[in-house]
Amino acid sequence: MNVMRTAMLLAFMTALFMGVGYLIGGSGGMTIAFLIAAGMNLFSYWNADKMVLRMHHAVEVDERNAPEYYGIVRDLAQRAGLPMPKVYLIDNPQPNAFATGRNPQNAAVAATTGLLDRLSYDEVAGVMAHELAHVQNRDTLTMTITATLAGAISMLGNFAFFFGGNRDNNNPLGFIGVLVAMIVAPLAAMLVQMAISRTREYSADRRGAEICGNPLSLASALDKIARNVERIHNPDAERNPASAPLFIINPLSGERMDNLFSTHPNTENRIAALQQMAGSMGGGMSSRTAPRAPETPAAERPAPSGPWGAPSTQAKKPTRPAGKWGRNPTGPKGPAS
């Protein structure tokens, strides 16, 4: 079912891409668009996850430089029966997270420093369990490729604005075709992307609650994230809006209505569903059931490094006090590896 769904999605997006090419340049434009779309589909399958991580300046972390965060993901992956994904950190004060990758064997999860700073241990576990549920449901390939193609269709619409109105080209519908390429096609791509994202969030919430064992922790996390997203700007997401459906909560704005144009279901509805699930589990499990990273004696802990701590060459730079998640990043952002 997931393979069929992905194939149908790619076929629709490819057809839409070709349609825009036809509106801009006739049969020649459609042929060029087909070749571009085929190349993008192939490229997206292998590289879209890396592109998304780079867009948000995600930095890979491990057990040495982010022991507790990494330990949460490791233990949750074991509980879900998943291979250990790569773990990334995004230096951004807005609390949020997403998962990406073409399959569970090549998956990655990413959380912002805002998420780790503002949420409790159990709430972080709930969020990362939600992201691992997307990995287990194989949503990550579909959502990552749709984000890439939706962005490409929007760029093609912008191309139509500058070159589609040339009377010497082969545009069969003239100015009307240009308007369709500029407005209708990007809107259709956005609606498909949003509809897919919204239908998958509820199932990821449910499965994520099962993985972490505490629906109320995930419900509390969703409430905190939604309230903070409304007031904390995410510049990288604003520059790359096609990636918004990947996040657990829409990073562009705090949407309150469950309407056609929302990238995510209404947060209150998601919380209500999790509370109902907790009730069916007997009030939810104790927060002590959330997986915890094993304690390491202080003498054996490695010195903080990488995105969670300043390298020794930067020791003289001022840093914020170390908290339970380790030191916050002070060095420049680096591209995802």
Which residue ranges are tagged as binding site? 130, 134, 201
1 burial (CB, 10 Å; 0-12 / 13-18 / 19+) is: exposed
Q: 131 catalytic, yes or no?
A: yes
Give the chain as a 3 state SS string: CHHHHHHHHHHHHHHHHHHHHHHHHHHHHHHHHHHHHHHHHHHHHHHHHHHHHHHCCEEEECCCCCHHHHHHHHHHHHHHCCCCCEEEEECCCCCCEEEEECCHHHEEEEEEHHHHHHCCHHHHHHHHHHHHHHHHCCHHHHHHHHHHHHHHHHHHHHHHHHHCCCCCCCCCCHHHHHHHHHHHHHHHHHHHHHHHHHHHHHHHHHHHHHHHCCHHHHHHHHHHHHHHHCCCCCHHHHHCHHHHHHECCCCCCCCCCCCCCCCCCCHHHHHHHHHHHHHHCCCCCCHHHCCCCCCCCHHHCCCCCHHHCCCHHHCCCCCCCCECCECCCCCCCCCCC
Feature table: binding site for Zn(2+): 130, 134, 201
Please identify which of the residues 68, 123, 131, 255 carries the catalytic annotation.
Answer: 131
Q: How far apart are CA 120 and CA 296, in angstroms?
A: 20
Q: Which residues are catalytic?
A: 131
